[in-house]
Amino acid sequence: MEKILDRFLRYVSIETTSDENSESQPSADREWDLLKLLRDELAALGVEVTLDEFGYVMASIPSNVDAKVPAIGFIAHVDTAPDASGKDVKPQIIKNYDGGDIALKGVPGLYLKPAEFPEMLHYKGQTLITTDGTTLLGADDKAGVAEIMNAVQYIVEHPEFKHGPIKIGFTPDEEIGRGVVKFDVARFGADFAYTMDGGEIGELEYENFNAASAKIHIQGCNVHPGYAKGKMRNAIHIATELNGLLPVEQRPEYTQDYEGFFHLIAFNGAVEQADITYIIRDHDRAKFEEKKALMTKVCDFINVKYGDGTATLTLKDQYYNMRQQVEPHFHVVEKAIKAIEMAGIKPKVQPIRGGTDGANLSFKGLPCPNIFAGGLNFHGKMEFVPLESIEKASEVVLNIIKLYAE
């Protein structure tokens, strides 16, 4: 078998950044490069596989047991977040990590430090894969892709391994919230599934945020500053005033666990007009609706104060908490807990302070908890992943398959 490290390094070398400003699917042509590669690798292993016009790789391995057992799916996304560059990724391999600072050699003076990221110390003695400081790494979610592909190769090369029907899915555009918009659950054919898209080793999640985006256009009025009294309406000031009307304590930097937030993610402004963008998150559906209502109320206030049409709000739901869809099929969580324990890992069952393809798939009728892929500090130049965590995640995939075949 190809070593999982080599597989992972091959995948991260392919640029797959998704593009939130594109209306196509996949959102960026570069995503096709990895999608086509995965299709070809699965076909070369003798696995039945398709790649459709929307960028969904779907593969199927038939059961080799006599008993009728559920078809279990494993899903990962190929795109990386547009928050940081995913081009020309140059991973650093740190063997037998000693617990010290790691120089990110692509940027002189930049270090990955335990003083800032104390979780690094959990991996002393292991092999860490980091960035060189110029890009993200892409473990989100190419670690998940590598883990699934490694398990598939093991199954194909070990016919004595007993399993029921296995379904494999690779998706584009998860990072921009469109990963499974056109995913055909019936064609995929799984009864239950797991996304391999979580964080550090041991994590298991079946609760996630309810999510919405809020885009606000502020229309000001630009007048020569020498003659502006009583006439100018500075869109920059109005936008910052609007932001100040939202509760400071509900920003992401002040929240944790089940606490939701308003997150200002973009601001582009001049005196004449400004555009601001938020993401709104909460695990509790009622509190989520209250947050959306507050955003509407704040924009209404601005329009009363400065005139109709000053603030134009576009509010759009993105996904919902999958807990209500997964709990009626709680065996999928219990099987995952046991599979993690079989790998010698202590499970960390916790809510996702984010979302996955699994949330939307659960609402499409495919209950789909999320399992750790092993990486940390996703979406930026401080991203890293321990090799041993990738190896254990692939082992968990095989353990789940084994448990459902028993």
Q: Is 76 helix (H, G, I), strand (E, B) or coil?
A: strand
Q: Please name which of 112, 38, 48 lies closest in space to residue 79, comparing C-alpha atoms.
A: 38
Q: Is 79 a catalytic residue?
A: yes
End-to-end CA gap in the chain: 26
> In the chain, how many H helices and how many E strands?
10, 17
Q: Is 174 a catalytic residue?
A: yes
Distance, in Å, from the CA atom of 253 to the CA atom of 266, rounded to the nearest integer, reads 16
- The active-site residue, picked from 174, 200, 282, 391, is 174
Sign of torsion, CA 60 150 348 353? Answer: negative
| Contact assessment for residue 123 and residue 97, using Cβ atoms and an 8 Å cutoff | yes
186 C-beta neighbours (distance < 10 Å), count = 8
Write the DSSP assignment of 127-171 as a string of letters. Answer: -EEE--SSS---HHHHHHHHHHHHHHHHHHH-TTS----EEEEEE
- The active-site residue, picked from 19, 41, 79, 395, is 79
Question: Partners of 331 in the beta sheet?
Answer: none
Question: Partners of 75 in the beta sheet?
Answer: 169, 195
**Would you name the residues annotated as active-site residues?**
79, 174
